[in-house]
Amino acid sequence: MEKILHSSLAENIRNGGFIYAPGVYDLISAKIADEMNFDAIYMTGYGVVASNLGLPDAGLATYSQMVDRVGTICSQTRTPLMADGDTGYGGLLNVEHTIRGYEKAGAFAIQIEDQQFPKKCGHTPDRPVILLKDMVNKIRVAVDTRDSKDFLIIARTDARTNYGLEEALKRAEAFAEAGADILFVEAPESIDEMEKIARSFDQPLMANMVEGGKTPVLSTGELKKLGYQIAIFPVLGFLSAGQALKSAYQGLQSSGSTSDLSVDLYNFTEFSKLMGFEKVWDFEKKWASADVDDEK
């Protein structure tokens, strides 16, 4: 079933279809998003590092930590997962290992970027990139390593911030020639720049909508009209959850009670069902009956 979904989604993208994905960063966010029938979900590196390690997205998470999270999310959800693969976690041999690991873990697509190590969040300053030929070779290795063409390679360049838009466009063109399925020019700083990116390529393009980041946050309709085919909203989940938690904890601190919070709470029974407690209850009922039968 997973392979059928991946194949269908890959074909949709190749045929010019538009998809958008909310960011997920842990199993609660992934399960909630999975219930909502999005075309895809996106595992954000920023969110995973923050939720798992409590640290900034600055090259501090290892391949093992990230691929473990990919596998766990994929095992608990049905929606195809696009996953942040940072720089491939090293050189060409590391990229080969990363591609195999992410594909085996169940991801639908992996995003690899051209930053120097240690990499940083794409909407923070000072992000130098590796030599273009080195990134091109990473993409070639990625394309050659994957078992299925329906496991898509998203090639991201972070060159815009330090080196300007023209350098970013040159790199994206080289990534396309190297076989990348989706091009991702990170952190354009205006709608005009986004329009220029969209005019420059026939290849599927990804837009990164980061609330509070460098790029204008547009609607899916506006992005589609510009010529983008994939939109991710990676920080929406953890920023909204963080604000809700802060407000709820402040309410408890100020009143000493949770009976009059200004924050809407997820219904406890429904949340328990989301986490799979219905299966536990059914299991217990089944085997409680078995115990009675044995006594007879």
Domain CATH code at residue 88: 3.20.20.60
Residue 250 burial (CB count, 10 A): 13
In the chain, the number of structural domains is 2
Residue position matching structure tokens 């992005």:
223
> Each residue of 100-157: pLDDT tens digit?
999 999 999 999 999 998 888 878 888 899 999 999 999 999 999 999 999 999 999 9
Residues 216 and 270 in one domain: no
Residues 91 and 172 in one domain: yes
Is 242 within a domain? no
Instruction: Write out the two tokens for 33.
Output: 């998003």
Query: pTM for the complete prediction?
Result: 0.93
Instruction: Write out the two tokens for 177.
Output: 């020639």
Separation CA 17–CA 229 (nearest Å): 6
Mean pLDDT of 2-18: 87
Mean pLDDT of 162-184: 97
Is 192 within a domain? yes
Q: Of 234, 254, 275, which residue is a domain's last? A: 234
Q: Of 213, 234, 255, which residue is a domain's last? A: 234
Of 38 and 118, the one with more pLDDT: 38
Among residues 250, 89, 80, 220, the alpha carbon closest in space to that of 150 is found at 80
Percent of the chain with pLDDT strictly greater than 90: 88
Q: What is the pLDDT of residue 295?
A: 55
Instruction: Write out the two tokens for 85.
Output: 């693969």
Residue 175 φ/ψ region, left for φ over 0, alpha for ψ in the -120 to 50 degree band, beta for the rest: alpha
> Each residue of 218-269: pLDDT tens digit?
999 999 999 999 999 999 999 999 999 999 999 999 999 999 898 999 999 9
Whether pLDDT at 177 is above 90: yes
Residues 220 and 270 in one domain: no
Q: Of 194, 210, 234, which residue is a domain's last? A: 234
Is 54 within a domain? yes
> Each residue of 266-276: pLDDT tens digit?
999 999 999 99
Domain that holds residue 140: 2-234
Is 77 within a domain? yes
Structure confidence at residue 296 as a pLDDT band (50, 70, 90): low
Residues 108 and 189 in one domain: yes
Is 21 within a domain? yes
Is 113 within a domain? yes
Is 261 within a domain? no
Residues 189 and 290 in one domain: no
Residues 155 and 113 in one domain: yes
Residues 194 and 289 in one domain: no
Average pLDDT, the chain: 94
Mean pLDDT of 46-66: 94
Is 253 within a domain? no
Residues 8 and 149 in one domain: yes
Whether pLDDT at 294 is above 60: no
Residues 280 and 181 in one domain: no
